[in-house]
Each structure stands twice: as C-alpha cells, then as structure tokens.
Chains A and B, each alone.
Chain A
C-alpha cells in the first residue's frame, strides 16, 4: 500500500515538472512584455523594471530562478498589482474556492448517487426516463447559461435567494453557485452509478444474496452499492479538477472572490506573472487531489495496487 502510494507520488512529480516548464515557456512566447502599456515607458525605467523582475537575464536562467521559487512556495510577482505577490492573492481567494468546490463536490456525489441508484432500481419506468432527460439537460446546457436563468427566477422574480456575492457566507449565498457548479457532475455521476448498479444487481453475488433470503434494503445498500461505487470513485479525481476549473466561470458570474476570479481578471489584463502562478497553483492542487483519490481507490480495491 505504502509502496503504491510512493510510486504514484513519483509519477506525479515529473508530470508537474513538465507542466510547469511548458507553461513557463508558452507564456514567454507571448508577444509584448508585461510593461508595454498604452503609454510607452522611458527606456531607463523599463530596464530597471526588467532588472527588478529578473527579466534581463537569459531565458534559461529565468526558468531556473522560477522553478527554484516555485519549489519554495513563491509563485512569483504579479505585474498589475505589484503590492501583492501571486501567493498572497491566492491565499486570500483560496478559502472561498475551496468552500464552493467542496460543497459542490459533496452535493453532486450525494444527489448523483441517489438518482443513479433510483434509476437502476426502477429502470425503464417513467420516473427513470424523466430523470434521465433532466440529467441530460444538465450535461448539455452550459453553466454560464443555467446561471443567469436561475438568477432571474430565484433571485429577481421570486426574490428567494441573493443573486450573487458572498455576503456573510451563509448558506443562502451558496445555493445558486453550488447548483450551477453541480449540474453536469450530478449528470455524470448518476449515469455512472445507474450503469454500474444495474450491472451489480444482475451479478451472481446478488442472486446468491437473494436466495439466502436477505432483505431488499440489505442487498441494495450493502451488497450492490459497494461494488457499484468503484467506477464512481474513479471519476471523483477528474471531477475534482473539473469542479475547480468550473468554478472559474461560476465565481465570475456570481461575483465570488475566489481564485477563479483572480485568474480570469489576470488573463483579461494580460498579467503574465499572475496567470502563470495561478495555472501552476491549479495544477498542483488538481494533481494532489487526483493523487489522494487514487490512493484512496487503491486502499479500497486491492486489485489496483498489484497492477
């Protein structure tokens, strides 16, 4: 087990390193420097700025400085907000993003599994078909379209929920953003659950359980749901990544001050330092989450470890 976790960690590190390298050099290919504004700066000031941010050194040396800084947790300077480093801005935004993403993760898991199990138990009934249709809509209709419609209905017409912002952080501010963030994942999780649950219910183990005279509840919850959860678990790693990137748009629509909004603003303002820092941070976060899910999965299913 520990050996598996260690090996998995070893394969993550080169991937991260390649990713950081690719991002660094892609951004350096971009035309124009970070200080080419509407008003041209005097050459001397430009040279000073470049020297301050190490931009006057050869590219390869800049790269090594950057990687060294990242290893120490310093994601570099932000060029448009020089008073704050990238790390400081991310630290401010991170709690909001984590609360939003964590709530969405939990809600989509619970609702998705519930819909999937229900669909598998009542397969090809009318409720099953109707749920499948609704779930398909959640998959097809993009979040940036669902969000304004929900804001219009629940925020403006019915006046039940706030349209955006974080407020005092109470649940009512979270309902709409979490809903928007959840919908596609509820769809994917419920489809996965339904499929693997049907397969599990048709297996020999379940027939044996029935012939032993076990109650329906025991069969569904103990004997069928457990093996049926394995494919869902393997989706949770990628899902954590999708939730983080999905929160980019949700945070901008609902005006939540998480790291997604910093990222979008930085990209719109062409703040290369901030964009690079945020992308690197996102990738580390996503890979760590993937790593945790994989290790958890291997702990549950010993077959994975030996492969």
Chain B
C-alpha cells in the first residue's frame, strides 16, 4: 500500500468516524486499517493455521515424532500409507516431525521475544524517564553493543549454554533487546512530558511506580509491533544455529535441524528437505507481513496527529 493511498484512507477514516460513530479509538482505527490490508490479513490467517497445527497437530496424527514405523523406511509422501510427508531414514513420520519442529521453533521464538521485551522495555523506559547523564551512559552502552557482531555473541553463548536449548534462547533474547530499548526510550521521552505523568508525580508516586504503572502501559503499541518483527528474526537465528549443529539436539527437533538433516540427503530423499523448508519459508513470510501490516496500521496514527 503506497503512502498516498494510506493517507487517503486516514482522511476517509477520520471523516466517516466523525460523521457516523462520533469518533473511533486509535486501537479501532488501527484494527480497521490492518483488516483492510489484504497481504497482512492473509498472512495472519496462515499464521494462525500454522500455530494451531503446531499446537494440536501432533495429537491428531497416529505417529509420534520419535517413533519409527518399521513398515516404512525412507518412504516418499503417499496418501495410502498415511505418511503424508513421507518418512526419514529411521522410519519416523516427517509430518509429525515437522509439526513438532514448528512447535519448538515457535516456542523458542516466544521465549526469546519475551526476554527481549522485558529487558528492552525496562531498560528503555528507565533511561528515557530518568534522563540526564544516566540516560547518556545507558544509551552509549547500547551503541557499543550495536557495534558488535551479534551472531558471534550468540555462538559464544552457545559454547557456554550449549546443552540447554531454552537457556540458550533466553540468552539470544538477552541480546535482541537493543532496538527495542531505543524505540521505548524515544516514546518514553515524549510520554513523560504529558500531564498525567506530572499528576502522578504530584501525588508523590515513586519513580519506579511511575515508570512501570504509568509509562510502560502506554508503550503497548510500538512494543507489540516491534516484538512482532522480532519473532521471525529469532526463528531465522534459531534455524541458522540448529543448521550449524548448535541449537536443538536429537531427539528433539526444530525446523532448522530438519532442514539440515534433509539437505544432506536431498538427492535421494528430496521430501525431507522440501517440506520443512516450505513450512519455514511460509512461517517467516507470514510473520513478516503481519509485522509490516501492524506497523503500517499503527504508523498511520502518527501521521494523523
């Protein structure tokens, strides 16, 4: 959607809102704009389907992700045998493994994103609200961290946390908060000048209460958008690490691990590569479009002010 058509939409929205309903909340008009974005809506539907099948799928199919089917080794995808995605060299059903791998990839992304949101929001809000030389020092630290190659740090952490996947991805989240902190700080700077913060200060609330009860709730919009854009990044990082053999270990599996295994035998058992790869690409693209759609929907609000 081009900027111009966005602007027209906004003008239209404000007019219709004034005439018909007598005003529409920011959330509502953002939701409406998102709803009108076809690519984002389609991606959202696909994403929901992927998430639902990752959660419930493994219970609905008759094969476990680590149980070999002694009657079917290396069998190509077929309707008759019930192995819709085929089986691998050990006779394990690929559909079950792909569903399970998607679940692990999503879970890992969730853990890392939650960690990055918690750190980024508190860091940015504290720096922005306190201001002065503390703000300067805290943001200088963020600048330094930015300059360092992120993936090298991840591999360093991997060498240390290696065996525990969730600890590792909590650590990735602990490195992913930098941009979040910058965005949150910028928002905090403008929020802290508003009257309700002055009122809160006048009632004698402590600094931490003002930050976490009055400023942070008002940051929801940008934080949600940026978190949505962080998730695909983390899924890609996870697949990258698992591909190199660092991330998720057997018998657990993730999309990256499946792709790595499939890539080794792609000449003879091509389905082992193509199904997990298709799921990963679909997942990444739909997450990206949903994140972009959210950003467009909320950014329009900034234009309106």
Contact = CB atoms under 8 A, between A and B. Distances in A.
Interface of A: 15, 18-19, 23, 26-27, 29-31, 140-142, 144-145, 147-149, 152, 156, 241, 244-245, 248-249, 252, 263-264, 267-268, 270, 272, 275, 279, 282-283, 286-287, 290
Interface residues of B, number: 35
A271 to B, nearest CB: 9
Contacts of A279: 152, 155-156
Interface string B258-277: 01101100110010010001
Which of A15, A141, A145, A272 has the most CB atoms of chain B within a 10 A radius of its CB?
A145
B156 A145 contact: no
Given A140-B288, A141-B281, A267 B147 contact: no
Contacts of B277: 145, 149
Contacts of B157: 26
B8 to A, nearest CB: 16
Contacts of B159: 27, 30, 267, 270, 272, 275
B239 A142 contact: yes
Contacts of B148: 15, 19, 283
A147 B243 CA distance: 12
B156 A144 contact: no
B246 A31 contact: no
Contacts of A23: 156
A148 B160 contact: no
Contacts of B270: 152
B285 interface: yes
Nearest to A276: B156
Interface in B224-278: 236, 239-240, 243-246, 256, 259-260, 262-263, 266-267, 270, 273, 277
A286 B246 contact: no
Nearest to A253: B263
| Top 8 A-B pairs, shortest CB-CB distance | A148-B263, A30-B160, A144-B243, A245-B151, A279-B152, A140-B284, A15-B144, A145-B277
Contact of B147 (A144, A263, A282, A287): A287
22 contacts: A15-B144, A23-B156, A31-B160, A141-B281, A142-B236, A142-B280, A144-B243, A144-B260, A145-B280, A148-B266, A152-B270, A156-B267, A241-B149, A245-B149, A252-B244, A263-B155, A267-B159, A270-B162, A275-B159, A279-B152, A282-B149, A283-B148
A141 B157 CA distance: 25
Given A145-B259, A290-B147, A282 B236 contact: no
Contacts of A282: 149, 152
Given A156-B267, A249-B244, A279-B155, 11 more contacts: A30-B160, A140-B284, A142-B236, A144-B243, A144-B260, A144-B263, A248-B151, A249-B243, A268-B246, A275-B155, A283-B152
B297 interface: no
B244 A145 contact: no
Nearest to B283: A140
A272 B149 CA distance: 18
Contacts of A270: 159, 162
Contact of B245 (A18, A152, A244, A268): A268
B96 interface: no
Given A144-B239, A148-B263, A26 B273 contact: no
Contacts of B273: 148-149
Which of B148, B244, B273 has the most CB atoms of chain A within a 10 A radius of its CB?
B148
A37 to B, nearest CB: 16
A140 B285 contact: yes
B158 interface: yes
Nearest to B2: A124
A27 B281 contact: no
B16 to A, nearest CB: 28
Contacts of A268: 245-246
Nearest to B150: A245
A19 B156 CA distance: 12
Contacts of B267: 152, 156
A142 B147 CA distance: 23
Contacts of A272: 159
A108 to B, nearest CB: 18
A293 B239 CA distance: 31
Contacts of B284: 140-142
A286 B149 contact: yes
Nearest to B270: A152
A267 B158 contact: yes
Nearest to A156: B267
Interface in B118-151: 144, 147-149, 151
A78 to B, nearest CB: 14
A29 B244 contact: no
A142 B160 CA distance: 25
Contact of A152 (B147, B236, B266, B285): B266
Which of B144, B149, B162, B270 has the most CB atoms of chain A within a 10 A radius of its CB?
B149
A141 B260 CA distance: 14
A245 B152 contact: yes
Contacts of A283: 148-149, 152
Given A152-B267, A268-B246, A29 B160 contact: yes
Contacts of A263: 155
Nearest to A268: B245
Nearest to A155: B267
